[in-house]
Amino acid sequence: MPMRRRWWTAVAVGCAALVLAASVRAGDEELQEVTRLVQQISELREQGRTEEAIEPAKRAAELVEKALGPQSHELASALTQLGLLCQDAGRPEEALGPLTRVVSILDKAVGPQDPETATALGNLGSVQRELGAYADAEASLKRCLAIREKVLGPDDLDTAEALNNLGLLYHTIGRHAEAEPLYDRALAIRRKSLPPEDALIAISLNNLAGLYQETGRYEEAEPLFLRSLGISA
């Protein structure tokens, strides 16, 4: 899964939303604090100090909730940032609460069929999978996929990500027959939409090769592993 790409997309969008919201709807003091925290979080993350960025992210979320309310779209951005920081720091149990709240907020703020809600569901499902809450993860990831297929279309790259993530869940819990067609579809979309040396294609190849290996299909796995390594090198 393209964790770094996903994380930075969330930070870029979320931080911009926080600063804009604070500047328009909150007082000068709140704006200064939010701006300072956003800058601090970004600097810490750039330095690889993810653990240290968590406390400022918590403070930013608290400030936004106080200034703009518990159901604000801007709070969803702040909580997304906090949740993904916790997950990236290897603390998925702390990510679960914020990311669960994000889905609840966005269901009301932008609607249950909005692509932004789908992204929130994908984030939540990833954490649920890490925590071993497989039934919850399946529900979140299937809903994410359904939204993206309906709104973005069956051949969109975000749909490919949702296919890959649901496939990864099934792969993790040994439901290989269900994982394989999802991996196949994700790879086909990425091959159609991306340059042949793109890292997302390498991820899809590696996932499918791992599945083949685990099911004893070694001759099919080997060329995919080699192709994946060739891209990653």
Domains, the chain, with CATH or none: 1-109 (1.25.40.10), 143-233 (1.25.40.10)
Question: Helices (DSSP H) in 131-156: which residue ranges?
Answer: 134-151
At 82 the pLDDT is 94
Alpha-carbon gap, residue 154 to 164, rounded angstroms: 13
Q: Residue 99 pLDDT > 50, yes or no?
A: yes
Q: How far apart are CA 41 and CA 88, in angstroms?
A: 13
pLDDT exceeds 90 at position 1: no
pLDDT bucket at 46, cuts 50 / 70 / 90: confident
CA 138 to chain centre: 15
What lies within 8 Å, CB to CB, of 195 at 6+ separation is: none
Please give the residue that has the higher pLDDT: either 6 or 123: 123
Give me the chain's average pLDDT, please. Answer: 89
